[in-house]
Amino acid sequence: MVNAAPQTSSSRPTDPSAGEADAGKLPVVLLLAGSCMPVMGSVLLAPVLPTMSKAFASTPGSEILVPVVLTAPALVIALLAPLAGEIADRVGRKTLLVVSMVLYSIFGTAPLWLDSLHAIVASRVGVGIAEAAIMTVCTTLITDYYSGKKRDQYLGMQVMMATFAATAFFALGGALGAQSWRAPFWLYVSAVIIAVPMAFVLWEPQKNTDKAKAVAVPWAQILVPASVTLFAGVVFYALIVQLPYVLTGLGVTSVGIVGAGSALASLATAVGAVSFRFTAHHGPGKLLPVAFGLSGVGLVLIWFSSSIVMAMVGAVITSAGTGLLLPTLLTWAVSGLKLEQRGRGTGIWTGCLYVGQFLSPILLTIGAGVLGGLPVALGVLGCLSLVAAGFTALTRPDKHSPLH
């Protein structure tokens, strides 16, 4: 039976050490749905950017401001996720999440009525602020409510759901965008709909607020996972952005083929994420070398690709590696953290991931210019991934922080 709400109070112990290992299925369904909201902010509007550029062609600086409509939320998440984690630990998780979901809908739908491009960009900053809290708190509550194999399963599902959601939102954005560039913004209403059951089903983990203020973040424990995650963010988002350019460079002219290639890579990411459920017991000391190794081999293969088939084989290998990479890194980062530290730890991890996302296209664009082409830049990133595989194999992170 699903434990949808506490029986006697609005909070209850959920620390695995207190014996609460499984909060039931309904809470995690809502948390996984909430985790898809930042994905919607990242990809939903991509298909309508050309139409927006035409609509605001007379606005000075529109050639810069229109792309910022898409990228601003990710940058805000990178900057504010650690602060969101701080608030979650000191003030509380549930209220922050529900309020952020409502604000996400308000800011997200604002462009339906705004006529100023500058005001739309400002609303997208608001979306990013809400997303920083949503992503951080959803992940934190999964680690609060569940432990052991259940936690591993749901962290893997979080990456898998995000991957499928990205594909679905891209398609929905294109379909709605065919009607009007404003139409995709209606999908942001979904957040406030999800917030309603969240308010009744989720609960605040029982913790000592004064203790949360006194318990500092164990920087010695989280600094290395956070640093590795920053690099992993660059690797994870490399092909999400660059694969269409790789295929175009190999002579592909059909948008349908490019889309099919991206969909196949996304599917491989989801498969890698699902595999974490069955391999998590090996610990990050064994999984991180595998994940970075697959990512590196695939990128190097793309470097030397002379055909579309060879490039797609490399893309699938890389994507399977990155799908395994994220839940492994998250588990490594938050394992061993006390309940009062978990929000800040997750916020720091989330911030580092999104810094990597923001830097990925910038670094690869610079690398392509310096090194003589995008395939070479991806190949160098692949070599660095292989170095990361060797580093994690030698340092054996699971010897320094318990997995469960």
Residue 6 forms part of a structural domain: no
Mean pLDDT (whole number) for 151-157? 81
Main-chain dihedrals φ then ψ at residue 11, nearest 5 degrees: -145, 155
258 and 359 assigned to the same domain: yes
**Position with higher pLDDT, 139 vs 174:** 139
Residues 118 and 141 in one domain: yes
Q: How confident is the model at residue 11 (pLDDT cuts 50, 70, 90)?
A: very low
Mean pLDDT of the chain: 83
The residue-averaged pLDDT of 340-363 equals 84
pLDDT over 90 (residue 49): no
Structural domain range at position 41: 11-213
**CA gap 103, 91 in Å, rounded:** 18
End residue of a domain, out of 184, 213, 242:
213
Q: What is the pTM of this model?
A: 0.76
Given a contact cutoff of 8 angstroms between Cβ atoms, the answer to whether 191 and 41 are in contact is no
Is residue 64 included in any domain, yes or no?
yes
> Bridge-partner residues for 11, per DSSP?
204
Q: By C-alpha distance, which of 101, 89, 44, 8 is closest to 345?
A: 89
Task: Report, as an integer, the average pLDDT of 325-331.
Answer: 88
Q: Is the pLDDT of residue 140 over 80?
A: yes
Residue 255 has pLDDT above 70, yes or no: no
- Give the phi and the psi of residue 205 in degrees, each rounded to 5: -60, 135
- Give the CATH number for residue 117: 1.20.1250.20
Q: What's the confidence (pLDDT) of residue 390?
A: 92
Select the highest-mean-pLDDT range: 59-73, 162-176, 235-249, 304-318.
304-318
Of 9-18, 135-144, 244-253, 376-385, where does mean pLDDT reach its minimum? Answer: 9-18
The pLDDT of residue 78 is 87
- 109 pLDDT exceeds 70? yes
- Asked whether the predicted pLDDT for residue 344 surpasses 70, the reply is yes
- What is the average pLDDT across 279-294? 90
- Say which residue, 282 or 46, is predicted with more confidence: 282
For residue 303, is it within any domain? yes
Residue 399's pLDDT band (cuts 50, 70, 90): low
Q: Determine, yes or no, domain membership for 132.
A: yes
